Amino acid sequence: MTDELFLGATPLEGRAIREISAIAMDAPAKANSGHSGTAMALAPLGVMLFSRFLRHDPTDPSWSDRDRFILSCGHASILQYGLAHAFGYDVQREDLEAFRQAHSRTPGHPENGVTATVEVTTGPLGQGIANGVGMTMAERILRSDYGEGLVNHRTWVIAGDGCLEEGISHEAASLAGYLGLDRLTVFYDDNHITIDGPTELALRDDPEARFKAYGWHVINVGECANDLDALEAATRAAIEETERPTLIIVRSHIGFPARAMMDRREAHGSPFSAEVIEETKKVLGVPLEPFYLDPELPSEFVEQLAPLRQERVNWEARVAAAGDQGRALVTQLATNGAGVMTTAPELFGEGTKVATRKAMQRAMDVFAAQTKGLTAGSADLTDNTGVILTYSSAQAHSNPGGRQIHYGVREFAMAAVMVGQALHGGFRPAGSTFFVFSDYMRPALRLASLSHAGVLFVFTHDSVGVGEDGPTHQPIEHLMALRAMPRLHVVRPSDANETLDLVESFLSAKVPVTTALVLSRQDMPVLSGSDAAASRSNARRGGYVVRESPEAVFTLVGTGSEVALCLSAHDALADKGIVTRVVAMPCWRCFDEQPAEYRRDVLRRSIPSVSLEAGATLGWTKYVDEAIGIDSFGLSAPGTYVFEYFNITPETLVAHVENALEEAR
C-alpha cells in the first residue's frame, strides 16, 4: 500500500512504524497499564532516527562508540521496546507480552542494564535531558583525549512537555548551552497533552525562544511528526551545527492514528479499548491479531544497517592499530576510569585538628592525576568543598578536555549530569555542594542508586557545626533520609586521614558504587596511635572498633566528628573507673554487607550501648540501645555553641552512661 500515513517512509520503515504503533496499543492493553498514545505519535520519529542516523549495531549493543539514545519521557517505554525488537535487538515477542510484569525485560519505565538500547534509567521527567548532557560531555572529553578516530559519537534525547516543564530541564539546558555541547540533540515532542488535559491548563512557554536564550540551535518542524523526510532534514541540520546543542520541536498528535483517542488526555495514560485497537489496526493496515510481529522485520533492518555496523568493525580496527592509546581507551571504558594509585597523599598529623572537607582537596591533589576517569566540580562551591583539580582546567567548548566542571548553582542538574557521565562509561565523576542541598538533588541521587551509577556525591558542612548560617543550612534529617535510600553508600568519615582512605577506595574500586561522602566544615581531631590503626584497617568495612576492652560495660558509637566526642567521653569515664568501648560507623550500608560474625563482634549487643550523632536519631536502634542526636531544626549561632546547646558533647555521653548504669543496678 502507498504510505499515506507516514510521508517519506520507505516500505521497511513503514512496516516498522505500523508494527510499533500496534504493539504500543497491545502491550498496555494486556497489562491494563501503560501509555500508548505518546509511543504511537513518536513511532515515526523513532524509526527515522534508528534507521537513518543512529550509530548502532544490534549485533553488538554495547559497542562503546555507539550513539547514545535516551527516552527522557520514559512513560512511553513501549516505544523503545518496540524499536529494539524491530531493529534486531534481543527483545522478543514474549518480552513485549510481559510488558510491565514482574521480572520482565520490559518494565514500566526504561531501566539501564535490563533492556537492550536503554542507556539510562528514565521515568521521572526531565532527568533524561540532564543525563544526555552528561553523556555528551563524557564523549567530548574522551574525544579530546583519544582523537576523533577512536571516539566519535552523538547523544540523542526524546523529551516531552513534562520534561520541559520540570525545573531540571532549565538547569541542564542552560549548562549545555553555555558549554556548547554540539553533539547533543533533543527532540521535543510538543503534543500539547498532559494527564490533566491540554498543556494550556498550566503552560504557555515559548520553548523556541527559551532554548535560543540558553544558546541552543533551535529547529521547529511544526506539523511534521509523520513526515520522515522533514524529520531527516532537521536531524541533518542538527548534525551540521558544530557550536551549539540542538532542540528540534516536533508538533505531534498523541494517539495518532487512533481517531477515537487522538489529542485526548485519555491517550496519555489509559490503555485503549479493544474496539479502538481494532479500528486503529485497520487504519494502520496491520493484522488484528494481538502482538503480531513481522518475522522478517528484524533481520531486514539488521541487513539495512550493514554500513553502520561496518563502522563498528572499522572502529575496532582503528583501536587495534592505535596500539597503547587504543588499549588505554578500552581499559578506561572497561574500568570506568579506575584510579591506579602509585603515589599516596601525605597523611595529616596525628592529634592535629582538620576539617574532613580539607582532606577532600588533598585527595584531589594526589589521586586525581592517577585516576583517568575522574571529573570533578561543584554547584558553585568549589573552594568550600575541596574539589579543585589543580592538574586540569575548566570544561568548555574551547577546552573540550577540561575535567574541572563548573556546574553553577544547579545542584539537581549537576547530579543527573554526573549520572549520565558515569553510565556513558569511562568515568567516575565527583560533584559537590553543601549537605543540606542534597534535598535539591534527591531525585537524581535516587536514580543514580537505582541504576548503579558510580558517582561520588561530595557533601560538606555536614551538621549543626555549620554554625551561624543557621537552621536553613544545618542538615538534621539528611543523613537518615539518604541512608534510607537503597544501594546508596552514605559515608561520614571519622577524621581527615580516613577521608583520604575512603576517597581512594571509591576512585580505585573495580566497580564503583553510588556514594554520598559527607564531610565536616569544622575542624575535628585526627585519630592517633591505635585509634588511627583501627581506622586504617577497617574503615572500608563501614563500622569498626576504635577502642576495645574485654571488661567494657558500655559501647559508645559515633560517626564523623562525633567519634572524637565518643573518645573524649571514653577517657572521662575511664577516669571514673567505668570501662567503655568505642565504635565508629562511617557507613551503615557498608557495615551491613559484612559477615554476621564481624558485625556481632563490632557491636557487642550483650552490653548496653548508645550512639551520638549530630542529626536525627531515627534508625539508630538497629545498632544501639539508645540514640542521642538532634530531632529539631538547628540554631543560628557559632558551631561550638550549637553543639553544646543540643547536647552533642562528651559530657552528655558521660551522664547518659552513668545514669543508665545506675538504673540497671
Q: Which residues are catalytic?
A: 411
Q: Which residues contact 599 (CB under 8 A, 6 or more apart)?
A: 543, 591, 592
In which element (H, E) is residue 541 found?
none
What cell does 200 get? 494550556
Q: How far is CA 5 from CA 48, 158, 272, in A?
A: 14, 21, 20
Selection from 628, 629, 650, 646 nearest residue 637 by Cα: 646
Scanning 32-158, the segments in alpha helix (DSSP H) are 37-52, 77-86, 93-97, 127-146
The angle formed by the CA atoms of residues 390, 373 and 592, to the nearest 5 degrees, is 105
Alpha-carbon distance of 542 to 290, in angstroms, equals 52
CA dihedral in degrees (54, 59, 64, 65; nearest 10)? -40
Contact 286, 40 (CB under 8 A): no
Work out whether strand 580-584 and strand 544-547 pair parallel, antiparallel, or are unpaired.
Answer: antiparallel
The letter for the amino acid at 619 is: G
What cell does 477 get? 534529617
Selection from 368, 362, 316, 50 nearest residue 187 by Cα: 50
Alpha-carbon distance of 227 to 221, in angstroms, equals 10
Selection from 634, 308, 614 nearest residue 471 by Cα: 634
The angle formed by the CA atoms of residues 509, 513 and 516, to the nearest 5 degrees, is 115
Alpha-carbon distance of 76 to 66, in angstroms, equals 23
In the numeric block, the cell 582537596 is attached to: 361
Scanning 69-126, the segments in alpha helix (DSSP H) are 77-86, 93-97
Residues listed for the chain: 665
Alpha-carbon distance of 291 to 26, in angstroms, equals 6
For residue 206, give the DSSP letter.
Answer: -
Sign for the pseudo-dihedral over CA of 273, 275, 281, 283 = negative
In the numeric block, the cell 568550600 is attached to: 384
Alpha-carbon distance of 476 to 465, in angstroms, equals 11
Contact 168, 416 (CB under 8 A): yes
Alpha-carbon distance of 72 to 156, in angstroms, equals 10
Contact 286, 15 (CB under 8 A): no
DSSP codes, 450-502? HTT---EEEEES-SGGG-TT-TTT--SSHHHHHHTSTT-EEE--SSHHHHHHH
For residue 344, give the DSSP letter.
Answer: P
Contact 51, 301 (CB under 8 A): yes
Q: 187-213: b or e for each residue (b if 16 or more CB lie within 10 Å)?
A: bbbbbbbbeeeebeeeeeeebbebbee
